[in-house]
Structure 1
Amino acid sequence: MSEFIPGQRWISDGEAELGLGTILNVDFRSVTVLFAASQETRTYSARQAPLTRVAFGNGDRIDAAEGWQLNVDDTKEIDGLIVYIGETDSGETRELSEAQIADSMQFNQARDRLLTGQVDRNDWFDLRFRTLHHHHRIEQNPALGLAGPKIDLIPHQLYIADEVARRHAPRVLLADEVGLGKTIEAGLILHRLLLSGRAERALILVPDSLTHQWLVELLRRFALEVTLLDEQQSQAHGDANPFEAGQLILASQQWLFANPQRQAQAEACAWDLLIVDEAHHLDWSPNASGPGYACVERLADIATGLLLLTATPEQMGIESHFARLRLLDPDRYHDLARFRAEEAGYVQVAAAIDALERLPGDDPAIAIVSAVIDDADSQALLDTLADPESDEAQHADARRQLREQLLDRHGTGRVMFRNSRRHVGGFPERRLHVTRLELPSAYRRVLHKAEHNEDALDELLIETRLEHPDVLLYLDATYRALHDDPLNVEPWWQIDPRVTWLLERLTEIGRDKLLVIAHDRETATDLSEALRVLGGLHAPVFHEGLSLVERDRAAAAFADEEDGSQVMVCSEIGSEGRNFQFCRHLVMFDLPQHPDQLEQRIGRLDRIGQRHAIEIHVPVFAGSPGERLLRWYREGMDAFSAPHGVGSDLYDVFGDELAEALLDDARLDEIISETRVLFETRIAEHDAGRNRLLELNACRHERADAVIAAIRQLDDDQALPRYLDQALDIFGVDSHELGGELLHLRAGPHMLDGLPGLAKGEEGFTATASRSHALARDDVQHLSWEHPLIREMMGRILDGAMGNTALALLNHPAIPAGRLMAELVFRTHCPAPTRLHVNRFLPPTAIRVLLDESGANLSAKVSFTGLAKNLKRVKKAVARDLIKSRHDQLRELLSQGESEAERELPTIIETAQQRMRDELDGELTRLQALAEHNPAVRDDEIQALRDERHALDMAIDGTRLRLDAVRVIVTVDDDTRR
């Protein structure tokens, strides 16, 4: 007769995912099993059924079909069915027949899987243990979240990202000068917040022209997939809120600001982080707010964190700058007059910081520093620094601490980060090449009338419908407006010598690329046509009238090194946001009227990472208003040599007068002279005041160097390629070496589903662990411990049952055959909200216990690696039989192993708590002291840190152990193996 009896519980050896089965029918030939949880029925041969009986023992916990749980103390058998006896969670003694066990009961835990005969491959077990080990050390690395992105290791960017992402609810203004990498800084902050669990949802609002650029940058550099939302996508969601369509939402500012319905939907969502690019375009005054500013203000009130990006925080003056700051902290920045008074005091603080370098030995310097300190700690540091009896090490330490206190306690440096090119260094030279051209007769006639007859100028403005001074500066536009019948009049580009000049420049520079920027959209379009007709050149054009896809296509055609266009023509919109640093030749076909627009044009090429001098080519008509405007830029403010950050101030003062002087050389000379005086005054003020403080605070090199060192440690980690080889093999990913440290990864025929970037039947991707190789090619991904593929594989192992059981054979001459050992891996479990990022102090920690069958602990004598390399695999059927025959012995070893592991837990908890207290107590003390001097430190920030410390202390104290994996090892001799 068969051993099967209806009502018994069994699991399938080959299809464990079916869950717990119940014997339905049995005869001499077959047995039928119902797997109710998966709604499947199987019929097997009664003699060779691949089934394992489920039998629980003392200490096991069972789920009853009625919803309660039983802790097993004893068992008995009635009519071939096991009846379990034990206590419920309420302490009641009950019995539970195996037929009444819940069908949905899972056997994912290592203990359950082992005792029910479910074992995995040995290499899976090895990978699981190594995953725990690597995850433990990586989660504690101070570079976590900053090491994976495909970026150069630039100190100021990494310092800002590290400083901001550490904060509770970071709310800052990223205001680096053009080309210093604000987008990268924002991406780094977002990436770290996501990896650490401090953020899950983010809304990114950017100008319409930059949406696809942000989309590509976040994917290519940070491996972040975002949902690009527009009206078409929103309508596709019907009545559902489209802003719930993804965790990371990217949207156009113009689209959202013009749509009250979509604004309401965005405001109905919870956002951990709001990012707003080109924030200087948000219009605000003490009396009114523009629709964009009002929308961001409401969203900023909802979002926990806020990043505002702008290269020109004072483009519209101090009032505009104040408007950005009040979005970050309306309680702190609520009074514009008070803010103006604070700004005036920063000169004294900057002078005090500079005076520190002259100590000791300079009595006036002591007085300068004393004037800005008002607490005993700072005074003690100053006394040490001024004391000639102190040694050099004491002087250096006191100088450093006092400098950091002054930077922390004064100014907007805590909420605003602004690096300048002068401060960062390493930027290329700018070379200006001016070519004077003769005015064509049609242009000359227009200017001659305007110069000698004011009424003629007024008539010209009426006739062309152009603004003053556009009608004088952009003569091709004036010509088009006056000759509106292109069929009977030559196109402007056939009479304009700048076109021929441009073709000559293209020939001169050989194969180098050249970017042309013109003020007017029609000028750009016509110029592209002129290059095609006159020079046979394909010149993609980039202007505001194109769709986003068309703009991206034009930029891609220009960027392609091998088959791309040599030249691209942009309207003024091409000078904002786009990155063309692969190009070094810039032609300003005409000049913009505002200095900030001039700098933005140059900033498309002159960016961090540019390896060549920037060649700026400006054709001007001799004696024209355009040449006079060029003089104002060159002689009044050195506008082409470097960004100075004061152009907006100068334009506010002289813009109107300059427009009137474009036809008057004598008056122009006066304006240039006055501009130069004010330029030098403003530069001195900026160097002495808040800008000086911001530059000193925007990158603390000691911190930045420490972050870079931690990143390099992960970059050079030799364990990564070894781990990757093993993981790719086990997960079924095909890997092919391409040479030059490049790998091509693609889905293998047996690959597990759902791995990022590796869909079956598709090409896969090329990747490298070398940062320099990854940066050299846009189509190569940067493999690191933070890469989505590696994190996904590690996550599946740590969160699932993969490799948590195994059985192996050991042939050792000193150990008799038939002996049993159990290798147990316990893992700390510290349940806590993800926002606490408890892993930085106590990541899942493995405790390995190796017991022989007598219970002796061999962990210290036999290493994991030393044991693993001597183990041999065994067929699953044999493994199940061995486990069945040693059930009682294995239960005892599992219990004893838990006791051995528990002895190590208090030390792990104590170490983690001490690490947490050392870091957070120091930061809390610093913030509390800082709050007494700098109102930019918010009370809720300090309270949040107190709450975080308390929650972490409770969570770490509640850490428990659980059995993560177990491997049974049976010793054999050569005869047994044969």
Structure 2
Amino acid sequence: MRIERSSDWKESFMDRLEKEEAWDNWTLYKMAYEVAKSTMITDFRGLQSTKYLPNLTPFAHQLEVAETVIERMNGKAILADEVGLGKTIEAGLILKEYLIRGLVKKALILAPASLVNQWIDELNRKFHIPAMQFNKKYDLQHCDIVVMSIDMAKRSPHKEKIYEQDFDLVIIDEAHKLKNHQTKNYEFVQHLKKKFCLLLTATPIQNDVFELFYLITLLKPGHLGNYETFQAAFSASKHNVEHEEFLRELVNQVMVRNTREATGIEWPDRHVEIIPIEFTKEERHVYDLISELKHSSAAFSDAFSVITLQREMCSSKEAVYTTLIKMREKCIQQDELVVVDEILQKLTLLEMNSKAEKAFELIKQANDKVIIFTEYRATQMYLQSYLYEKGITSVLFNGKFSKSKREWMKHLFQQQAQVLIATESGSEGINLQFCHNVINFDLPWNPMKLEQRIGRVHRLGQQNDVHIYNLAVNSTIDDHIVELLYTKINVFEKVVGELDAILSSYKMTI
């Protein structure tokens, strides 16, 4: 089919001009004028988008965040509300507002793969924004609102195609995964062409204060100076800063954060306990043998290797056995093999897991649905078998599951099973307000992972008080982890703001 440019209008135009005829129908013109007038936004203050959202009634704090980002932060902000306060809704409001005002026509939303469908569903259903999931067959030039996983986006050939696009708005969910300028995620986002940018994370500081520096630098380069300037001005180290009031003032120019307490919403209480665990004599003996490995074997001279084994021993013999078998291959000398084989043998003879016994006790006490978080899949499998023998129904949840299987496990947990046993992947993107008991079987190094876990149940829609049990084995690496968690929480509260309870008072026995 051949398309040619018509010039017929010229003859009509000249004819009307010479004969002084009316340009067009006056009635139609007035109607068109009224339509155009009704869609004009004469005042930039205040949100217009709420008039076009019949399926959504935002909370006051969500509206306030949207207004703040648009009016004061020029569309470049970190949305750092506590877990469960609706950062997705806030980002949707901002996107809708910019679309209505004609300031955004092309947007990219990057999220973990497990959250892509959730984003598409909410944007379409709640905001009437025609978002679509990225497909390699699509021409991005003709896709206005695209949602895709950041892991897919940063890989070739998708990366190069995305770099060619000029986006008006880029939204990154779970932005703490960018971490620092050395990660591929960070580098990818840094090179995107974007006018506005939203970084969504309840935990802008995960392990050290420099993570927040790099997030802010991504949004507004130079806002905190360069790395050396920032380090010198605030005497910054991983777990400490000075002049924190001035730093927080600078941070608040690009970050909006609401706490549950500040929303004005009535929240159920959060009850947090650290439950001390005592090893049996046999468990303690194996733990001590593992701790001595760094002195008796060159293959385990790396402190990290021994710490890994210590942490796994505080979880389950299954977890430490799996790792020790792999590490055994590094042993060269016969005396090293003898020591490792002795530990492996004693592991097989262990008949009791003191931490699992306490978890079972807490589950029986709750007499309701419970989520157990563990760091290790070997422990996950053990716990399911252990609870089955005790007559407790459970389902597993981990990052190896497909999207459909994850949804099915969630359904089974809600409808049938009493316990959901999840690895770290279960602390992200899954909403379980129907449950209000959480057992942290293994403590992470990162306090924000605890907050993410608790946020699966302590979020909007929760009707009951939430009970959190953090299990820690006395006189082990667990004591050191708890101490470090408190240190990191202190840094977070200095720079970002108050954090809801994720630990409790705990007397260390070291």
Tell me the TM-score range normalised by the shorter chain: 0.7 to 0.9
CA offsets, 1:618-669, max 9 Å, x none? 4445x452663576379x5697xxx9825999xxxxxxxxxxxxxxx77x3x
Question: In the aligned structure 2, how far is the partner of 1:281 from the partner of 1:474?
Answer: 26
Conserved 8 A contact 1:542-1:568 = yes
Question: In the aligned structure 2, how far is the partner of 1:615 from the partner of 1:339?
Answer: 40
Structure 2 counterpart of 1:895 = none
Question: In the aligned structure 1, how far is the partner of 2:277 from the partner of 2:179?
Answer: 40
Structure 2 counterpart of 1:320 = 211
Structure 1 counterpart of 2:374 = 518
Deviation at 1:246, TM superposition (A): 2.9
Deviation at 1:204, TM superposition (A): 0.6
Question: In the aligned structure 1, how far is the partner of 2:274 from the partner of 2:224?
Answer: 45
Describe how 1:12-411 pairs up with structure 2 within 5 A: 66-68=8-10, 70=12, 88-91=15-18, 142-146=46-50, 148=53, 150=55, 153-166=58-71, 170-229=75-134, 233-234=135-136, 237=137, 241=139, 243-244=140-141, 246-257=143-154, 259-285=155-181, 289-299=182-192, 302-330=193-221, 332=223, 334-339=225-230, 347=245, 411=250
Deviation at 1:605, TM superposition (A): 2.3
Alpha carbons of structure 1 residues 221 and 495: separation in structure 2 relative to 1, 3 Å: farther
Deviation at 1:589, TM superposition (A): 1.5
Structure 2 counterpart of 1:449 = 289
TM-score (norm 2): 0.74
Deviation at 1:557, TM superposition (A): 3.6
Larger Rg: 1
Deviation at 1:574, TM superposition (A): 1.6
Secondary structure in 1 matching 2:492 = coil
Question: In the aligned structure 2, how far is the partner of 1:605 from the partner of 1:423?
Answer: 19
Structure 2 counterpart of 1:103 = none
Structure 2 counterpart of 1:782 = none
Secondary structure in 2 matching 1:91 = helix
Structure 2 counterpart of 1:580 = 432
Q: How many residues align?
A: 460
Letter in 1 for 2:212: H
> 2:492 matched to 1:645?
yes
Secondary structure in 1 matching 2:50 = coil
CA offsets, 1:670-694, max 9 Å, x none? xxxxxxxxxxxxxxxxxxxxxxxxx
Secondary structure in 2 matching 1:172 = strand
Secondary structure in 1 matching 2:68 = helix
Letter in 2 for 1:541: L
Conserved 8 A contact 1:174-1:417 = yes
Secondary structure in 2 matching 1:271 = strand
Alpha carbons of structure 1 residues 173 and 348: separation in structure 2 relative to 1, 3 Å: closer
Secondary structure in 2 matching 1:304 = strand
Question: In the aligned structure 2, how far is the partner of 1:593 from the partner of 1:317?
Answer: 12
Letter in 2 for 1:209: S
Conserved 8 A contact 2:106-2:144 = yes
Conserved 8 A contact 1:449-1:456 = no
Secondary structure in 1 matching 2:133 = strand
Deviation at 1:134, TM superposition (A): 13
Question: In the aligned structure 2, how far is the partner of 1:256 from the partner of 1:492?
Answer: 48
Conserved 8 A contact 1:70-1:88 = yes
Structure 2 counterpart of 1:474 = 315
Structure 1 counterpart of 2:333 = none
Structure 2 counterpart of 1:754 = none
Secondary structure in 2 matching 1:162 = helix
Structure 2 counterpart of 1:658 = none
Structure 2 counterpart of 1:794 = none
Deviation at 1:273, TM superposition (A): 0.6
> 2:479 matched to 1:628?
yes
Structure 1 counterpart of 2:252 = 413
Conserved 8 A contact 2:310-2:477 = no
Question: In the aligned structure 2, how far is the partner of 1:567 from the partner of 1:438?
Answer: 24
Structure 1 counterpart of 2:329 = none
Letter in 1 for 2:257: R
Alpha carbons of structure 1 residues 207 and 338: separation in structure 2 relative to 1, 3 Å: same
Secondary structure in 2 matching 1:212 = helix
CA offsets, 1:207-261, max 9 Å, x none? 23332333333344434342222xxx31xx1xx63x346321111111222x132
Question: In the aligned structure 1, how far is the partner of 2:194 from the partner of 2:65?
Answer: 20
TM-score (norm 1): 0.41
Alignment gaps of 5+ in structure 2: 1-5, 235-241, 327-340, 497-507
Structure 2 counterpart of 1:431 = 271
Alpha carbons of structure 1 residues 566 and 178: separation in structure 2 relative to 1, 3 Å: same
Secondary structure in 2 matching 1:581 = coil
CA offsets, 1:934-972, max 9 Å, x none? xxxxxxxxxxxxxxxxxxxxxxxxxxxxxxxxxxxxxxx
Conserved 8 A contact 1:576-1:600 = yes
Conserved 8 A contact 2:271-2:468 = yes
Conserved 8 A contact 1:172-1:306 = yes
Conserved 8 A contact 1:428-1:614 = yes
Question: In the aligned structure 2, how far is the partner of 1:615 from the partner of 1:184?
Answer: 27
> 2:437 matched to 1:540?
no
Alpha carbons of structure 1 residues 319 and 460: separation in structure 2 relative to 1, 3 Å: closer
Letter in 2 for 1:227: M
Question: In the aligned structure 2, how far is the partner of 1:209 from the partner of 1:498?
Answer: 30
Find 1:568's aligned residue among 415, 420, 434: 420
> 2:496 matched to 1:496?
no
CA RMSD of aligned residues (A): 4.5
Find 1:509's aligned residue among 363, 366, 385: 366
Secondary structure in 2 matching 1:156 = helix
Deviation at 1:515, TM superposition (A): 1.3
Deviation at 1:142, TM superposition (A): 4.3
Question: In the aligned structure 2, how far is the partner of 1:226 from the partner of 1:447?
Answer: 53
Secondary structure in 1 matching 2:191 = helix
Conserved 8 A contact 1:212-1:548 = no
Question: In the aligned structure 2, how far is the partner of 1:186 from the partner of 1:212?
Answer: 16
Question: In the aligned structure 2, how far is the partner of 1:508 from the partner of 1:345?
Answer: 46
Alpha carbons of structure 1 residues 274 and 90: separation in structure 2 relative to 1, 3 Å: same
Deviation at 1:311, TM superposition (A): 2.2
Alpha carbons of structure 1 residues 65 and 411: separation in structure 2 relative to 1, 3 Å: closer
CA offsets, 1:834-885, max 9 Å, x none? xxxxxxxxxxxxxxxxxxxxxxxxxxxxxxxxxxxxxxxxxxxxxxxxxxxx
Letter in 2 for 1:303: K
Question: In the aligned structure 1, how far is the partner of 2:349 from the partner of 2:127?
Answer: 46
Deviation at 1:578, TM superposition (A): 3.3
Alpha carbons of structure 1 residues 554 and 149: separation in structure 2 relative to 1, 3 Å: farther
Conserved 8 A contact 2:111-2:172 = yes
Alpha carbons of structure 1 residues 533 and 156: separation in structure 2 relative to 1, 3 Å: same
Alignment gaps of 5+ in structure 1: 1-63, 72-86, 95-106, 113-127, 351-409, 650-664, 669-978
Conserved 8 A contact 2:81-2:201 = yes
Secondary structure in 2 matching 1:311 = coil
CA offsets, 1:689-731, max 9 Å, x none? xxxxxxxxxxxxxxxxxxxxxxxxxxxxxxxxxxxxxxxxxxx
Deviation at 1:149, TM superposition (A): 6.7
